[in-house]
Structure 1
Amino acid sequence: MVNQSPLETALSRAMIRWSLTKSTPVAETATSWVFRVEQNGRKPAALKILKPAKAEDERRGGALLNWYGGEGAVTVFDIDGDTVFMEWLDGVPLGDAVRKGRDGEATIAFAGVVAQLHKPRPEPAPEDLIPLRQRFRALFDTDVRAWPHTARDLYARANGIALRLFDRPAAQIPLHGDLHHDNIISSDRGWLAIDPKGVIGDPAYDVANAFINPMGADKLAAEPKRIAALADAFSSRLGFNRKRVLGWAAAHAALSACWDLEDGNAIVGQLAILPQLLAAYDLA
């Protein structure tokens, strides 16, 4: 008999545990394998099997999804070790609306998802959420010389804004931590978030990623009118301080650039957007 791989073992255990049939691989990411399955011939469901090296981060996200209880996020049915059994979403990402010219509608939907995720819940939040300041470690630890010479002032300014934001106390709540348009999927229950990182910190940070997204919309993201419209919508619909929203947007764009520099990727998109975000922050 051929020995099963760890993935095959985890999959067969899950199929038996939850009485599943018809497993079909649908995606492999840096952190997990995703399968489409059926439970007792009923509606399809999803199995997410975490890769051992990345399991800790993903486990944190799974626990936060479980805490959301399906409000504003995909529903988790059960978790067994490093396997998450959850709702199957076969809709389209919110990013598609932006790429088809419906950015205003997408912004309203985005704000609606954030409002759902940030609702107070009676159960205590998971205990091992990452402090937001820890998530910003790459920004604070980066050597400014890693940035292109002409952009080092942008790095310094964004770094200073981030430090000021952390020095001014804000509410500390569970955050998705990686909310962008392509992590919000349509369903028969409305728009739902997937793949949270499991962070705790300032609620206004959860909209920061919207400013540099979605993928394929770099030109739109750098438009001052779009930046102002996002800040206005998140401020009016969610009650966030507008200057704080723009501060987090600028700080996050710089953090995103630091992550890309660490990975050896170009930061052309962030460098196009960052000056506009800093200008908007100054004016707010």
Structure 2
Amino acid sequence: MGGEPPGRLVRSLGEKYGHSRAAEWLDRLPETTAEAVARRGLDIERVIAPGGRSGLLLLVRRPDGSPATLKIAPPFAAPGPERAALAHWHGSGAVELLDPVNGTGTEDGTLLLERLHPEMSLRSLPEAKALLEAAGTVRRLWVEPPADHPFETVAGRTARQADALRASEDETLAPLVSAALAAREALCADGPAEELLLHGAFRQGKVLAGDRAPWLAVGPEPVVGERAYDLARLVRDRVEDLVAASSGASSARRRVGRLADSLDLDRERVRGWTLFRAVESGVRALTAGRRQSAELLLEFAGWL
């Protein structure tokens, strides 16, 4: 492989899964990489940096010389659902999975993907254009999930996150945490509003330029539920710019309305999921010691 894994991957895995667990997998990563590459007959061009947060990304060449990307994720990151989602989308709105569904990579968590342009995401576009392209991309991902699918539900995922929020001991955050928990409870009160396959972590940085299509989504954390949940992370994109602007609060609320209207969704449901997910991310960042990120997220949440 050569060199060290990108720092962003090391930090993210340690924060999410525990530093000792992550370190053990990272120690074996050169061997894992060599095995995955040899099994497919690939040639490594380079590691993508800063890369992703859930696995090592490598630009490779297949035996016929065609370009591809190899993703190597730890088993504790449960890469199976990502594989299943990409296989179900079959390249519609998302990066195409090049491995057969039941073939190479299903056991070791590696995914061979079509080559996109990792240096060019929607964040490279002006904000208005980026949001327009993002809305068009995410709309294509919202499809019926396969029968007997392996994906967790929005209710199940957010229930775990709500439990972690309730354990927060920072009294200064109590009003925001209470508002976030109340929003989630109201949104889940009557059961799922929809049961569609969602990206789960959709944002501008997760949409890359491609050759087969102008923009394609990568890195899903797939979940089944209502579409409004999938917009919540997108709403707070470029949060640092929003917080720095004198009109940040009103701009954030307008963004909720614009995105909801462009995709024919209920504004209050988009606002509610945006509030819950921003507070949950902010508290988690604070716990991990990422105070600057936490402050930005929590200030943004307070505007909603």
* Residues 204 and 237 in structure 2, CA contact (< 8 A), matched pair in contact too: yes
- Which of 80, 85, 88 does residue 64 from structure 1 map onto? 85
Of 81-90 and 40-49, the range deviating more from structure 2? 40-49
Aligned to 2:279: 254
- TM-score of the superposed pair, with normalisation by structure 2: 0.78
Of 246-255 and 227-236, the range deviating more from structure 2? 227-236
**C-alpha distance in structure 2 between counterparts of 1:64 and 1:126, whole Å:** 13
Question: What is the CA distance between 1:258 and its match in structure 2?
Answer: 2.7
Aligned to 2:157: 135
Aligned to 2:6: none
Question: What is the CA distance between 1:224 and its match in structure 2?
Answer: 3.4
Aligned to 1:207: 231
SS of match in other structure, 1:264: coil
Higher relative contact order (CA 8 A, sep 6+): 1
Q: Percent identity?
A: 24
* Residues 36 and 88 in structure 1, CA contact (< 8 A), matched pair in contact too: yes
SS of match in other structure, 1:77: coil
**C-alpha distance in structure 2 between counterparts of 1:135 and 1:9, whole Å:** 33
SS of match in other structure, 2:265: coil
Distance 1:264 1:125, change over 3 A: farther
* Residues 48 and 83 in structure 1, CA contact (< 8 A), matched pair in contact too: yes
- Which of 210, 214, 218 does residue 194 from structure 1 map onto? 218
User: Is 2:262 the counterpart of 1:237?
Assistant: yes
Question: What is the CA distance between 1:45 and its match in structure 2?
Answer: 0.5
Question: What is the CA distance between 1:218 and its match in structure 2?
Answer: 4.4
Gapped runs of 5+ residues in structure 2? Answer: 1-26
- The AA in structure 1 aligned to 2:162 is L
Of 171-180 and 234-243, the range deviating more from structure 2? 234-243
- The AA in structure 1 aligned to 2:283 is C
SS of match in other structure, 1:171: coil
Distance 1:213 1:118, change over 3 A: same
Deviations 1:231-282 (A, max 9, x none): 23322322111111111111111111232233233221122111211xxxxx
- The AA in structure 2 aligned to 1:252 is R
Aligned to 1:217: 241
Number of equivalenced pairs? 264
**C-alpha distance in structure 2 between counterparts of 1:231 and 1:218, whole Å:** 13
* Residues 64 and 126 in structure 1, CA contact (< 8 A), matched pair in contact too: no
* Residues 203 and 234 in structure 2, CA contact (< 8 A), matched pair in contact too: yes
- Which of 194, 205, 212 does residue 182 from structure 1 map onto? 205
- The AA in structure 1 aligned to 2:271 is L
Gapped runs of 5+ residues in structure 1? Answer: 278-284
* Residues 72 and 110 in structure 2, CA contact (< 8 A), matched pair in contact too: yes
**C-alpha distance in structure 2 between counterparts of 1:26 and 1:106, whole Å:** 23
